[in-house]
Structure 1
Amino acid sequence: MDSEKPISSRSKAPHESLPDQPSHSRWIPLLHLLFVVLLFCFLTPYEWDRVQSEDQNLPFLTRFFLQMNVDTSPYFILLLLSPICWFIRPYFNFKFFSKVLLPKLSEEWVRANQASGKLDFMAICLCLLVSSCSLFMSVWTASHIVNDELKLAMGDLPPAYHDEYSYLFQAKTFLEGRTSFPSHPDAPELFDQMHVLNEGKMASRYFPGTGIWLAPFVSWGHPYSYWGHWLAGAITTFFIFWTGRELGGNGVGFLAGFVIALSPGMAIFSNLLLAHHPTLVGLALFLWSFLRMQRTYALRDAILAGIGLTFAMLCRPMTAAGFALPFGIWLVFLLIKSCLSKQDHSTKPEAQDSKPKRPAWVLTTGLAIPLSCGLLGLFFYNQSITGSGWKMPYQLYTDIYTPRHVYGFNNVIRGEQKLGPKVLENYDKWAENLTPALALQNVQNRFLASLQWTLGIIPLGLAGLIFLITECRHRSRWWLIFASIISLHFVHIPYWYDGIMHWHYVFESGPLWALVFARSTQTLFRIWRQIGRPLMFLLWISMLLVAVLTNLTSISPLWTSSKLETMVNNVAFSKLKHFQLQKMIQQYPKIEKPALILIAHDPADRHIDFVINEPELNQSVLLGRYRADRDEPAKLQSIFADRQIYLFDVSQNRLSKWNGAFWERI
């Protein structure tokens, strides 16, 4: 049934065609066979190479089940079972499931409730269940022990990435009722902090949405700052459930929410103070409200969609633009159609809507008003920091400190023509020159990582192919979901870096993939029910459970580390480095406070930078950037006469004290 059409509980739209119509059933076995052959050809080389790499003295089956590849091996086993599941056709009849539960999960149930205006208690219970599951996953991930000696969990540690400290700087600045703080009057460059503009004013280079989201949680102190992202994950799951319900019923909403709630990538990012989770809150609200607006033509839905998109724009504008592009195109076509015909030819409003549907221009205005307010606020925010409403702190930071990181092709070549005296040379040279070949490689990396970290390459790859095959005959709102995935990847093609975990630039495609997976599952279950293949249900559910198990658990000796645990340990490496430095500052008895500790960073490690200070530069221990060719200790001592000066060499893990004549190791 096409979910984009308002359908009463009594009848279906006359033009609809079901994917499981008997007239097409002759193609179904052939398509199943084609999928089995393609999967076999794809998975066999990986499994053969894996088995051959093990100790040849072991029996073949032992080698096969030893240290399985979690991305391929379990699915290869399920693939071998697929012929059995296809040809054996037992009869099952669970009356509670078929008569009570299944109808309440269906799209028809939702449409009937929408038509009657009844409260759907089933939907409320399911959305609360998946939201609670998301919250539990975030907390459980934070509780993973990453240092056995000190019994430190991931949530006990400080942030890992430069960007996180910049967002914290921004949140703390906002908590003081400001958008920036003045740079140090005598030695400003000493306190150059990664991703913090320091040109007379110190301010995060990033857009203000994330700082606004973090501010109330940061005010409570560590580790409460992570609660904001845990809550953001639960809110995102909440809205993804209602989005899936809007498109395909309670079952689709529940499955999409379940996939997102248990996604290892979502769990990891909910414990990183980056912009992605706040962005997802806005985008999830936008997605649900926009789809409702398509059905109801209600002004309130348009305004809610505008509010959600505005907040996402204030967090990650490029991501918000890429995500919303297909929906914007749909709205433009609706406006053109309305103008040409002088009236709306859209479907009639639902029975529960007592008010008449709004014209297209009213809906567009409802979306545009919050966006206009957000852009106006951003204009004044830019002006308060850079002096020009048209000049973003992000752009100014790139121009001054990291010109090779500029957006677009040939970034290194273009950036090297604009090198200035304040370029962070070591970090700036990390950039690769973006060519079409590198861009193509980045797209491939981001695509595979988005499948891998959302659920799994095989489950979501299959779901995507099934979606394309089964939806191609329908003019469905589901195409907006798929188009949003494509456009999100498209707008990030002109950036040289593929992202954290090869993924973070297209991280927000995760919930969209969960929706695609839920839709494909709904379609397959209809087909298998129509042609009487009950074991295929169990095979598909087994694939989902295998994905969850390999993502979240380890079963030795089959696989010794889950995807989640592997990434937790990866992220914990940087977190522990920051923790160790902070512990030394707090507890080392030979550090006389107040102090200024100059940091000589390890040139071999571009991604851990310890120069992190409070926006006011007033804490008892300040951290400064040591430049041996510029900073004379005697001069610094005269500037900071009230502070004892130290030098910490990161590569040698050595702390020295300035005794007035030379650096004395302590």
Structure 2
Amino acid sequence: MLLLIAAVSFVPPVNRFVYAILKSIRRPAPRTLAMMTIGVAICSGLYLYFDAIYQKRSFQPKYHDEFSYMIQTRMVAQFRLWAPAHPLGEFFETFQVINTPVYASVYFPGAAMMYAPGVWLSFPPWVMPLVVSSLCVGMVFLIVARLIGGGAGLIAALMLLANPIFRLQSLMVLAQAPALLLMLIMIWAWLNWRQRHHMRWAAVIGIAAGWCAITRPLDALCVAITIGAAMLFALRDNDRSRVLRSLVVIVIAAAPFLILQLGFNRMAGRGLFKTPFARNIEETFPQTALGFRPFDPNIRPRSTLPQKQAHYDKIAVDAIKSHTVHEALFNWGDHRLRLAVVANAPTWLMIALMPAGLLGIFEDRRKLAVWLTLPLFVALYIFYPFYLAHYVIFAALPVILNILAGADVIARSWPRRRKILTTFFALALSGLSISEFAEFNRIVNDEWFDAPQLTRINQTLAALEHKPAVVLFRWSANAAGEFPNSEEEPVYNSDVVWPDQALVIRAHDLGEWRNGALYRYYAQRSPDRAIYLYDRGDDSIRYLGTARELAVPHTTGATRPAIMLPAR
């Protein structure tokens, strides 16, 4: 393909035509740029949606984090961050959710705040992530168009859409897309502020920075450091008082978000400066806090739930063992930097432009400030044991900018061949990006995790004969002695703010003796609520009776036979 593009680029009518188009949109008027940004965002949203249909993606949440964010989003939609602790909290203990002293998500609330309008408008959970992701593409276009040109901005949008990790998260209720959008808003506001130091742009920087800080704090720090340093550098100018006032405005604008987080910490984290996320690390993922430490096999999750113990062994133990000072010092480039670059470059061929791109980056302070978020991202995440592929989408802009800066520098370095080189890079980068779309690449598959048992559970519960109901989930092995996948956790009541509000309540089976407390509880509050037992070992479901009926045997000591139903 590249050879064909190279040959076409040498054809004078072709390179003159392409170069003329790119030149005409290199510096579009503000109104034109705004219309182009809106168009890019809308087209991106449509593509992401229809691409998901083309790939037959499920559109259903599957990951622990998604369910936690969905619960938090419903709370935020009611202008709260927590609900009262459930009297039977042990039955509803699950991943990334706190049950005492309040019922709340462990996550920072920024993403839920961005997704809350979807609850008000009764959208399915995937709609707001799709909207946010579309806005991210529009903002990437806008920033690159400002820094390099309109044509480069369009290619940047294509490159982001070609990123399978970005496409994956475009339908997922996670914090990466909101954090990326807030980062892009911060950068755009700073680019405008640096022209005349207007206070309104300083306020936008502060709002975006504060919001990002309570979305993904480590990611927010990457941008805050670079923009803060750039603004302090501006103190060298004569207008020092205006720069200082801008910094004060930023702090004031960010303060409400930080105060909100402190209040959340106090209620759910058990300390003003201890976040619920940090508390969850101590209780569920010990030894995975920021920093380096030798692995201690005697330190285990506090929970007695077998799936939490299994999940710790599955995802945390190896990460802790491999997270050492030696690994950080000697393998950061081969692992962490490499992942951040490779994951955000649509194809490895584009990475070849990055060394030349550094020349373009360092000739422009604006580009340098944006690019520095990449090494800062890698440096800060060195201290965190987990470094998952979907984290690095935050570094998409500096990687894309670096690649495009390389193409721009090379094209400008040979003025007599500029039309040919510009045409070649425009067509090559666009073509390589499009080649990573599922519609043109049969091996592309954005659905990484199928969650077959979770799908069966959802189908079975939707078809229950008796409702309202409580379904108790039993963790057990199948006939081959294999236990369920700990990444598929059904005990989330994510369609409501509080478990008791659900039509079908999901809870753990804690054994018949302890289940008696649950029977008595619902016998007093919803006596006709049906009780089912779902065995995850063989996917069977049994109707046990109503809460009223089951509460009596636990009072008198009698037993009642269960009715076996087939799982659907």
Instruction: Name the residue aligned to 1:129.
Output: 39
SS in 2 for 1:385: helix
Question: Shift of residue 121 of structure 1?
Answer: 4.2
CA contact (8 A) 2:82 2:103 kept: yes
Is residue 328 from structure 1 mapped to residue 248 from structure 2 by the alignment? Answer: no
CA contact (8 A) 1:405 1:428 kept: no
Distance 1:475 1:168, change over 3 A: closer
Question: Shift of residue 122 of structure 1?
Answer: 3.5
Q: Which deviations, in whole Å up to 9, do the C-alpha atoms of 1:458-508 show, x marking residues without a partner?
A: 244123222124545x25321112211110121111222221xxx222221
Distance 1:239 1:481, change over 3 A: same
**Greater C-alpha radius of gyration:** 1
1:175 to 70, 77, 97: 77
Instruction: Name the residue aligned to 2:553.
Output: none
Distance 1:611 1:631, change over 3 A: farther
Instruction: Name the residue aligned to 1:567.
Output: 446
Q: Which runs of 5+ in 2 are unaligned?
A: 478-482, 546-558
SS in 1 for 2:541: strand
Instruction: Name the residue aligned to 1:154.
Output: 58
Residue 170 of structure 1 aligns with an amino acid whose one-letter code is: Q
Is residue 597 from structure 1 mapped to residue 472 from structure 2 by the alignment? Answer: yes
1:428 to 312, 315, 329: 312
Distance 1:383 1:454, change over 3 A: same
Question: Shift of residue 662 of structure 1?
Answer: 6.2
Distance 1:448 1:141, change over 3 A: farther
CA contact (8 A) 1:206 1:393 kept: yes
SS in 2 for 1:615: coil
- How far apart are the structure 2 equivalents of 1:372 and 1:422? 39
CA contact (8 A) 1:210 1:275 kept: yes
Residue 284 of structure 1 aligns with an amino acid whose one-letter code is: L
Distance 1:444 1:129, change over 3 A: farther
Is residue 258 from structure 1 mapped to residue 168 from structure 2 by the alignment? Answer: no
Instruction: Name the residue aligned to 2:460.
Output: 584
Distance 1:463 1:154, change over 3 A: farther
Question: Shift of residue 664 of structure 1?
Answer: 5.6
SS in 2 for 1:410: coil
1:105 to 25, 44, 49: 25
Instruction: Name the residue aligned to 2:249.
Output: 366
Q: Which deviations, in whole Å up to 9, do the C-alpha atoms of 1:335-383 show, x marking residues without a partner?
A: 4x46xxxx448xxxxxxxxxxxx63211211222112222122212322
Instruction: Name the residue aligned to 1:526.
Output: 412
Question: Shift of residue 241 of structure 1?
Answer: 2.5
- How far apart are the structure 2 equivalents of 1:374 and 1:596? 38
Distance 1:534 1:242, change over 3 A: closer
Instruction: Name the residue aligned to 2:98.
Output: 197
- How far apart are the structure 2 equivalents of 1:517 and 1:498? 23
Is residue 544 from structure 1 mapped to residue 429 from structure 2 by the alignment? Answer: yes
Q: Which deviations, in whole Å up to 9, do the C-alpha atoms of 1:440-465 show, x marking residues without a partner?
A: 66764454444444342424412322
- How far apart are the structure 2 equivalents of 1:405 and 1:657? 41
Distance 1:410 1:597, change over 3 A: same
Residue 426 of structure 1 aligns with an amino acid whose one-letter code is: A
Residue 463 of structure 1 aligns with an amino acid whose one-letter code is: L
SS in 2 for 1:597: strand
Is residue 484 from structure 1 mapped to residue 394 from structure 2 by the alignment? Answer: no
Instruction: Name the residue aligned to 2:188.
Output: 288
Q: Which deviations, in whole Å up to 9, do the C-alpha atoms of 1:274-300 show, x marking residues without a partner?
A: 011111221111011112222222222
Instruction: Name the residue aligned to 2:352.
Output: 462
Instruction: Name the residue aligned to 1:384.
Output: 267
Q: Percent identity?
A: 18
Residue 283 of structure 1 aligns with an amino acid whose one-letter code is: M
What's the RMSD between the two structures over aligned residues?
A: 3.1
- How far apart are the structure 1 equivalents of 2:486 and 2:63? 11
CA contact (8 A) 1:599 1:625 kept: yes
Question: Shift of residue 658 of structure 1?
Answer: 4.0
CA contact (8 A) 1:445 1:498 kept: no
- How far apart are the structure 2 equivalents of 1:218 and 1:389? 29
Question: Shift of residue 600 of structure 1?
Answer: 1.8
Instruction: Name the residue aligned to 1:230.
Output: 130
My pick for the range that moved more, 400-409 or 278-287, is 400-409
CA contact (8 A) 1:90 1:534 kept: no
Distance 1:631 1:104, change over 3 A: farther
- How far apart are the structure 2 equivalents of 1:411 and 1:172? 39
Residue 86 of structure 2 aligns with an amino acid whose one-letter code is: H
Distance 1:615 1:469, change over 3 A: same
Question: Shift of residue 273 of structure 1?
Answer: 0.6
Question: Shift of residue 655 of structure 1?
Answer: 1.9
Instruction: Name the residue aligned to 1:319.
Output: 219
TM-score normalised by structure 2 residue count: 0.84
Distance 1:98 1:139, change over 3 A: closer
Q: How does 1:197-216 map to 2 (within 5 A)?
A: 197-216=98-117
Distance 1:621 1:475, change over 3 A: closer
Residue 107 of structure 2 aligns with an amino acid whose one-letter code is: Y
Residue 553 of structure 1 aligns with an amino acid whose one-letter code is: A
Instruction: Name the residue aligned to 2:395.
Output: 509
Question: Shift of residue 601 of structure 1?
Answer: 6.1
Residue 154 of structure 1 aligns with an amino acid whose one-letter code is: S
Q: How does 1:28-177 map to 2 (within 5 A)?
A: 78=2, 91-92=12-13, 101-106=21-26, 109=27, 119-144=29-54, 146=56, 153-155=57-59, 158-177=60-79
CA contact (8 A) 1:237 1:260 kept: yes
- How far apart are the structure 2 equivalents of 1:663 and 1:177? 42
Question: Shift of residue 207 of structure 1?
Answer: 0.8
Residue 417 of structure 2 aligns with an amino acid whose one-letter code is: G
My pick for the range that moved more, 288-297 or 513-522, is 513-522
Is residue 243 from structure 1 mapped to residue 143 from structure 2 by the alignment? Answer: yes
Q: Which runs of 5+ in 1 are unaligned?
A: 1-76, 111-118, 147-152, 346-357
SS in 2 for 1:202: strand
Question: Shift of residue 233 of structure 1?
Answer: 1.9
- How far apart are the structure 1 equivalents of 2:197 and 2:404? 26
- How far apart are the structure 1 equivalents of 2:442 and 2:77? 44
Is residue 400 from structure 1 mapped to residue 283 from structure 2 by the alignment? Answer: yes
Residue 141 of structure 1 aligns with an amino acid whose one-letter code is: D
Question: Shift of residue 172 of structure 1?
Answer: 1.3
1:309 to 193, 209, 212: 209
CA contact (8 A) 1:398 1:406 kept: yes
Residue 567 of structure 1 aligns with an amino acid whose one-letter code is: D
Distance 1:550 1:492, change over 3 A: same
CA contact (8 A) 2:219 2:377 kept: yes
Question: Shift of residue 538 of structure 1?
Answer: 4.7
- How far apart are the structure 1 equivalents of 2:294 and 2:223? 24
Distance 1:282 1:471, change over 3 A: closer
- How far apart are the structure 1 equivalents of 2:207 and 2:476? 43
Residue 561 of structure 1 aligns with an amino acid whose one-letter code is: I
CA contact (8 A) 1:299 1:366 kept: yes
- How far apart are the structure 2 equivalents of 1:543 and 1:103? 17
SS in 2 for 1:567: coil
Q: Which deviations, in whole Å up to 9, do the C-alpha atoms of 1:512-569 show, x marking residues without a partner?
A: 32222332232233234x14265544543443244233311355xxx6322xxx122x
Instruction: Name the residue aligned to 1:72.
Output: none
SS in 2 for 1:506: helix
Distance 1:180 1:455, change over 3 A: same
CA contact (8 A) 1:492 1:505 kept: no
CA contact (8 A) 1:144 1:154 kept: no
